[in-house]
Amino acid sequence: MPVYEYNCIKCNETFEVMQKISEGPLTVCSLCGGELKKLITNTSFVLKGSGWYVSDYPSPDRKKAREAEKPADTSKGSKTDAKPETKKETVTT
């Protein structure tokens, strides 16, 4: 069940109420009888990890397909010394 936050306009009390989505918003403060205003707040729902079912819990076939998509690792086994090219300038006098 979602938690909604309300603020009383009369007594300025702020409180949270657990309500069903199908229930209407509260309108009367239970403390002073004043008018309530429903607040828009950040959600406490947080996805951890990459957040995608296919990448976090893949089937064996999906794992094989993902491994096949990865580029081959060329750093193992062969080392190449890639030196930047330097251009020699010729000075004529």
**CB neighbours (10 Å) of residue 36?**
19
**CB neighbours (10 Å) of residue 28?**
11
pLDDT tens string 27-44:
999 999 999 999 988 776
Is the pTM higher than 0.75? The answer reads: no
CB 18 within 8 A of CB 27: no
pLDDT band at 25 (very low <50, low <70, confident <90, very high): very high
